C-alpha cells in the first residue's frame, strides 16, 4: 500500500458528521484532500455537494448520504483508500442533549454511545494518523462523564494517544465571533510527535486591551454587514410582524437590548428573561455565538446592528467565516441550522494547519516519504 503522501499527493482527510462542510473546507484550505464525508441531513448534503465539490484541491469527494450506522466502515475504507492511507479524521458524534439532557444513567443502549462506537469503528478501519473531534462545552459536565469516558476508552482501544479535551474560543483564532467549543485530539501511537508540537494551537488573537506577543486584536464583526452581491440567494432574513419591527426601531442601534425597546413579553413578567433575546449585534466586537437558530431574533442577540430585522443567512455565514460563494441549500431555517452546527472555517484551518505541519508532514519526512512539501491555502476573506 502506498503512503498518502507519495508522488506529491495531498494528505487525505475524512469528515464524519460533516454537516454543510465547514470542517472540510478548513482542512482543504490547510492542504488536505477530503476523500469522503458522512452526513444524514438532506439539506446539509445538498450544500456540501454544491460547494465542497467546487473547492480547489478536491478530487471528487463522496458524500455518504445517511446515518453513519448504515455503513460498513471496512468496506468504505477499502473502497476509498485502495492505494492510499488516511491521514486525518474530522468531526465528532452529534452533541444533541449535551446542554439539556442528563445521561447519568446512560448505558449501552444510549444512542450516543452507539454513535461513539460507530465513530471508532471508522477510526479503526481507516487507521488515520490523527483524529480531531469537536463538540460543545456541555460535553465536559459531570452528567456527561459516561459519554466522554466511552470516547476515551474507544480511542485507547483503537491504538491512539487521546489528548485531554480543550476548550477553544473562536475569537482567539481570527473568527469574528465568541464561540467556545471543545476539541479532542487523538494521535496514532506510532506517529512521531515533534517536541515543538504544541497542543492546543497558540491563539493568534486576543482582547484588544491585553494584546501580548505577536497576537492581533480580536476581529470585530463590522465587515459582516457590508453589502452582498445582488444575486446572492442567501441574502435573506426572517419576515417580522409590525409590532416586532416597531420594537426593533425602539431598540438602540449597535448593541441595544430588548429591555431598551420598552417591549415586555408576557413570559418575562416578573423577571428579566433572556436579556439577549431580540437584542442587536454590536459590530464593534466579535459577534455572539451563531446557534442553529441564528436567523431568529427570538432565540438570541441576532438583530441587525442598525436595520430593523434579524440577520441574514449570508451575515450569519460570514460570522462563521464561510466565503460568499458558499451557498446554503434548503431555505432559511435549514440554512440557519447548517451554519449554527458548523465549525468556523478559519478555526478549522488554523487547527488542521498545525496538524498538517507537525503530525502529518513531519512524520512523513521522518519516514523518508517524497512529496511532503505542501503550500496550504491562505486565509480567504468573503
Provide the annotated active-site residues: 95
62-65 and 33-39 beta bridge pairing:
parallel
> Rounded to an integer, what distance in angstroms lies between the CA atom of residue 371 and that of residue 376?
14
- Helix (H) / strand (E) containing 76: helix 73-80
Q: Which three cell numbers stand for residue 59?
A: 478530487
Q: Which three cell numbers stand for residue 335?
A: 440554512
- Helix (H) / strand (E) containing 259: helix 258-261
166-169 and 160-162 beta bridge pairing:
unpaired
Look at residues 59, 57, 61 and name the one whose alpha carbon lies nearest to residue 18.
61
Q: Which DSSP category does 345 fall into?
A: H
Q: How many CB atoms lie within 10 A of CB 167?
A: 12
> Rounded to an integer, what distance in angstroms lies between the CA atom of residue 235 and that of residue 317?
10
Residue 238 near residue 267 (C-beta atoms within 8 A): no
> Rounded to an integer, what distance in angstroms lies between the CA atom of residue 203 and that of residue 109?
39
List Cβ neighbours of 155 (8 Å cut-off, separation of 6 or more): 120, 123, 131, 162, 186
Amino acid at each position: 500500500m502506498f503512503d498518502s503522501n507519495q508522488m506529491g499527493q495531498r494528505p487525505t482527510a475524512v469528515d464524519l458528521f460533516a454537516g454543510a462542510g465547514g470542517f472540510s473546507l478548513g482542512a482543504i484550505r490547510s492542504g488536505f484532500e477530503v476523500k469522503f464525508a458522512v452526513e444524514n441531513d438532506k439539506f446539509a448534503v445538498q450544500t456540501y455537494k454544491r460547494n465542497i465539490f467546487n473547492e480547489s484541491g478536491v478530487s471528487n469527494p463522496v458524500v455518504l448520504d445517511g446515518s453513519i450506522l448504515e455503513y460498513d466502515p471496512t468496506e468504505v475504507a477499502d473502497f476509498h483508500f485502495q492505494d492510499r492511507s488516511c491521514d486525518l479524521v474530522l468531526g465528532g458524534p452529534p452533541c444533541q442533549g449535551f446542554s439539556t439532557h442528563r445521561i447519568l444513567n446512560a448505558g449501552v443502549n444510549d444512542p450516543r454511545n452507539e454513535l461513539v462506537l460507530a465513530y471508532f469503528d471508522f477510526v479503526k478501519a481507516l487507521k488515520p494518523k490523527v483524529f480531531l473531534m469537536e463538540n460543545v462545552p456541555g460535553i465536559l459536565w459531570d452528567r456527561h462523564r459516561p459519554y466522554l469516558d466511552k470516547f476515551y476508552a474507544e480511542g485507547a482501544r483503537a491504538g491512539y494517544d487521546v489528548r485531554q479535551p480543550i476548550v477553544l474560543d473562536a475569537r482567539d483564532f481570527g473568527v469574528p465571533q465568541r464561540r467556545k467549543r471543545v476539541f479532542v485530539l487523538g494521535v496514532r501511537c506510532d506517529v512521531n510527535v515533534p517536541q515543538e508540537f504544541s497542543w492546543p494551537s497558540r491563539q493568534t488573537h486576543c482582547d484588544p486591551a491585553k494584546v501580548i506577543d505577536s497576537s492581533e486584536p480580536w476581529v470585530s464583526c463590522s465587515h459582516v454587514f457590508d453589502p452582498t452581491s445582488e444575486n446572492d440567494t442567501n441574502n435573506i432574513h426572517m419576515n417580522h410582524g409590525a409590532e416586532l419591527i416597531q420594537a426593533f426601531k425602539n431598540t438602540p442601534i449597535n448593541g441595544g437590548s430588548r429591555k431598551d425597546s420598552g417591549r415586555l413579553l408576557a413570559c418575562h413578567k416578573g423577571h428579566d428573561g433572556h436579556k439577549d433575546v431580540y437584542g442587536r449585534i454590536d459590530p464593534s466586537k466579535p459577534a455572539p455565538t451563531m446557534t442553529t437558530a441564528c436567523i431568529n431574533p427570538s432565540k438570541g442577540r441576532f438583530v441587525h446592528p442598525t436595520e430593523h430585522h434579524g440577520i441574514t443567512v449570508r451575515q450569519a455565514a460570514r460570522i462563521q467565516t464561510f466565503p460568499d460563494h458558499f451557498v446554503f441549500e434548503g431555505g432559511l431555517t435549514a440554512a440557519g441550522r447548517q451554519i449554527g452546527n458548523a465549525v468556523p472555517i478559519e478555526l478549522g484551518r488554523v487547527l488542521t494547519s498545525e496538524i498538517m505541519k507537525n503530525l502529518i508532514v513531519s512524520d512523513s519526512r521522518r519516514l523518508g516519504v517524497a512529496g511532503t512539501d505542501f503550500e496550504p491555502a491562505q486565509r480567504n476573506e468573503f
